[in-house]
Amino acid sequence: MKELVNSIEKQIETDKEVINVLPRNGIKSIKTLLETIKDMIDKYNYVDNKLLENIEERYNQLTDVKEFADISKLEQEIQKYNSAIKIIDSSSSYEKMGLDKIEYNINGYYKSNLERLNKELIECVKKFEIVGIKVTAEDFNISENAKEYMKVLLEEAYNGQINSEKIKEAFEGAYWNCSEVVSHLYANIRYLYDIHKNEINKYFQIRAENILNEFNCTREQIENKKAELIKKKKLLENIDNKIILNKFFNGTWNINDYKEDNYNRIYLELISTDVKNLQEKEKCEMDENIEKLNENLIEYSRFNEYKFLSDTVLQIREEELRKNEANKDKKVKKTQYDILKDNIKELTVEIFKLNEKINKPVKGLFAKHNDKDKKTIILKRNNSILELKKLYMELDDEIVKQKIIESIDETSSLLDVLKLGSNFYSFMAKAIIKKNDEITDKELGEMAKRIRDFIMFSNFSVINYVKISDKKDLSIIIKDKYKLFGMQVSKENFQEENIEDLMRKVRIISNYNNILKSKFSIKDLEYITTVKEFLKR
Amino acid sequence: MEIKNIKPEKLENDEILNVKKQVESFLKFLNSEYENVKKLEEENS
């Protein structure tokens, strides 16, 4: 339609010429000129609106896209498999219930946010309910303060008032009675778990059996199926019209990166051959390699972000192995874990004996004298609860150490190590804080979620294969693989200051190839992004 | 062909954007000329 464009350009030139040549001397000619300009303004405004209407119509047609229905179906399937894996995996019932996270938050939130603390406490009660244990305020009997507070909280929560004045008053009352009331709640939840542990384990055992029967396959098969579904979903997302469009709309992708010249230039940089000289089959194979490299680089980069966690696990393993080696000739009757368990049992018995004394009604002449005694006993009991909490926290550390020694050996993969570290919320949180001691509670929660999501919803192709005993750096392993396929990647590309650039280039090529598999052409996207900008005006 | 009778649907995506840009630019010129000539009219009256 070049002719049409030329004719329009010509008319504009002619009209411009008319304006320029019309006389401007004398009021009569000025009026004629004004009329001519006015007519032209009307005419061109009409044309402008007509063009705008058509531009918008095309824009609306092009951007009227829906996400593939299969994506949400696959997402549901993945979630189904993921929930199943959470039940059948080797973590303890405590982690399966999510009490590790709740307890960590209870221990941390009370200093900053009463509402969040309350949400965690309610969540905890719900978690017990899910596994068939009805928890009431009466179960928070480690101290009168814990019980009184939970009584008000549960009553108010039942009426949907999780942040009411009554709760605030109750907390204040409990707090002034004993400023460690949250530690009491923490220890009480651990105690509740301990006394119901067998029932809870049974619950998860039955659920695991049911799941394996329902899926009619092994745990490994379920995990493989989930990985397959994640891969399938990713492939669909890569070429989904709506997702591609949104990447441009929200600024994740920039249309200038996807101009053909840029694509050809990056391709040349990556393979040292002009893309135009590649045979169709060669190009196809190279595109596949670049796609795989893109996935590997994303995985590598995210693993690097969370490497501090697997490093912490490996460091503990080293220390424990050294300790075990040093103690191998000594006759050790009980492990630290056993000692802690015994101490917890003894201290719990002591606390409840003290509680019996505290709760014994006192009457008569000696009431005042006994009141003083009672205060002394309460003080002793409160100190014991703090000690109990400390022991539980030490036990958590011991459990992680035990699990590391039991599960990690030289044949373990980097993924196995990262997974183990992320299974224990408190352990993971401590490692996050060690890496960044200025992190806020909210940021920590988000980071922990990102790590767990990375493990649960990735289709791994590197860190699940690389063993901890591999002496080669992960980046070298990836680089060597792609060099074999004719790609120009070097050790320097993987250095901290260069990796982003390599990732960006590989991502552009991959995305470009995927765009071509969608309904859009690059020209369509250029049109859409340009029109979107001027529709904003 | 008179520009008023233009059929935008006959233009390619990049062409229609190009034409729109030219029309916009010409309208800007026309509006500015109108203002100038209007001032001239006031000076002469």
To the nearest whole Å, the CA of A498 is away from the closest chain B CA by 36
Tell me whether residues A12 and B44 touch, CB distance under 8 A.
no
Chain A, nearest residue to B44 by Cα = A27
On chain A, the residues whose CB falls within 8 A of the CB of B45 are 27
On chain B, the residues whose CB falls within 8 A of the CB of A528 are none
Tell me whether residues B34 and A37 touch, CB distance under 8 A.
yes
Average pLDDT, integer, range B16-45: 94
Chain A, nearest residue to B3 by Cα = A8
Tell me whether residues B18 and A5 touch, CB distance under 8 A.
yes
**Which residues are registered as beta bridge partners of A413?**
A467
Contacts of A54 (CB under 8 A, 6+ apart): B8, B9, B16
* A34/A403 Cα distance (integer angstroms): 89
On chain B, the residues whose CB falls within 8 A of the CB of A40 are 30
Contacts of A508 (CB under 8 A, 6+ apart): A257, A258, A262, A263, A266
Tell me whether residues B29 and A16 touch, CB distance under 8 A.
yes
On chain B, the residues whose CB falls within 8 A of the CB of A45 are 27
Whether B30 is covered by a domain: the verdict is: yes
Read off the amino acid at residue A418.
Answer: L
Facing residue for A1 by CB, picked from B15, B33, B34: B15
On chain B, the residues whose CB falls within 8 A of the CB of A33 are 37
Tell me whether residues A34 and B27 touch, CB distance under 8 A.
no
To the nearest whole Å, the CA of A69 is away from the closest chain B CA by 29
Whether B1 is covered by a domain: the verdict is: no
To the nearest whole Å, the CA of A59 is away from the closest chain B CA by 10
Chain A, nearest residue to B42 by Cα = A27
Contact by Cβ (8 Å): A132, A179: no
On chain A, the residues whose CB falls within 8 A of the CB of B1 are 4, 7
Residuewise pLDDT in 10s, chain A (537 residues) = 578 888 899 999 999 999 999 998 889 999 999 999 999 999 999 999 999 999 999 999 999 999 999 999 999 999 999 999 999 998 999 999 999 999 999 988 666 688 889 999 999 999 999 999 999 999 999 999 999 999 999 999 988 888 899 999 999 999 998 889 999 999 999 999 999 999 999 999 999 999 999 999 999 999 999 999 999 999 999 999 999 999 999 999 999 999 999 999 999 999 988 888 999 999 999 999 999 999 999 999 999 999 999 999 999 999 999 998 888 888 777 889 999 999 999 999 999 999 999 988 766 655 665 777 888 999 999 999 999 999 999 999 999 999 999 999 999 999 999 999 999 999 999 999 999 999 998 899 999 999 999 999 999 999 999 999 998 889 999 999 898 888 888 888 888 889 999 999 999 999 999 999 999 999 999 999 999 988 877
Tell me whether residues B44 and A30 touch, CB distance under 8 A.
yes
Quick one: pLDDT at residue A236? 97
To the nearest whole Å, the CA of B32 is away from the closest chain A CA by 10
Burial of A117 (0-12, 13-18, 19+ CB in 10 A): buried
Provide φ and ψ at A467, rounded to 5°. -90, 155
Full domain range(s) for residue B34: 8-44
Q: How far apart are the first and last CA of chain A?
A: 28
User: Which tokens hold the place of A19?
Assistant: 């304006």
Contacts of A150 (CB under 8 A, 6+ apart): A121, A137, A140, A185
Chain B interface, mutation test: which of A29, A32, A55, most B Cβ atoms within 10 Å?
A55
Whether B2 is covered by a domain: the verdict is: no
* A29/A36 Cα distance (integer angstroms): 10
Chain B, nearest residue to A530 by Cα = B17
Tell me whether residues A37 and B18 touch, CB distance under 8 A.
no
To the nearest whole Å, the CA of A518 is away from the closest chain B CA by 18
Chain A, nearest residue to B38 by Cα = A34
Q: How far apart are the first and last CA of chain B?
A: 38
User: Which tokens hold the place of A404?
Assistant: 């590391």
Contacts of A114 (CB under 8 A, 6+ apart): A163, A167, A168, A171
Tell me whether residues A24 and B40 touch, CB distance under 8 A.
yes
Contact by Cβ (8 Å): A91, A219: no
pTM for this structure?
0.86
- Domain-by-domain residue ranges, chain A? 2-63, 69-228, 250-303+466-536, 314-456
Quick one: pLDDT at residue A109? 66
User: Which tokens hold the place of A122?
Assistant: 């309610």
Tell me whether residues B23 and A40 touch, CB distance under 8 A.
no
The per-residue DSSP string of A367-389 comes to: HHHHHHHHHHHHHHHHHHHHHHH
User: Which tokens hold the place of A416?
Assistant: 């196995």
Tell me whether residues B4 and A43 touch, CB distance under 8 A.
yes
Contacts of A378 (CB under 8 A, 6+ apart): A358
Radius of gyration of chain A (CA): 34
Q: What is the ipTM of this complex?
A: 0.96
How many structural domains is chain B composed of? 1
Residue linked to tokens 């040292």: A272
Tell me whether residues B23 and A47 touch, CB distance under 8 A.
yes
* A457/A83 Cα distance (integer angstroms): 12
Residue linked to tokens 């990690």: A408
Quick one: pLDDT at residue B29? 97
Tell me whether residues B15 and A5 touch, CB distance under 8 A.
yes
Using an 8 Å CB-CB cutoff, list residues of chain A that contact chain B. 1-2, 4-5, 7-9, 11-12, 15-16, 19, 24, 26-27, 30-31, 33-34, 37-38, 40-41, 43-48, 50-55, 58, 523-524, 526-527, 530-531
C-alpha triplet A226, A230, A232: angle, nearest 5° = 115
Facing residue for B30 by CB, picked from A41, A58, A526: A41
Whether B34 is covered by a domain: the verdict is: yes
Handedness of CA A25, A31, A36, A37 (dihedral sign): positive
To the nearest whole Å, the CA of A504 is away from the closest chain B CA by 28
Give the A:B interface size as CB pairs under 8 Å.
103
Distance of CA A414 to the CA centre of its chain: 19
What dihedral do alpha carbons A48, A49, A54, A57 form, nearest 10°? 140
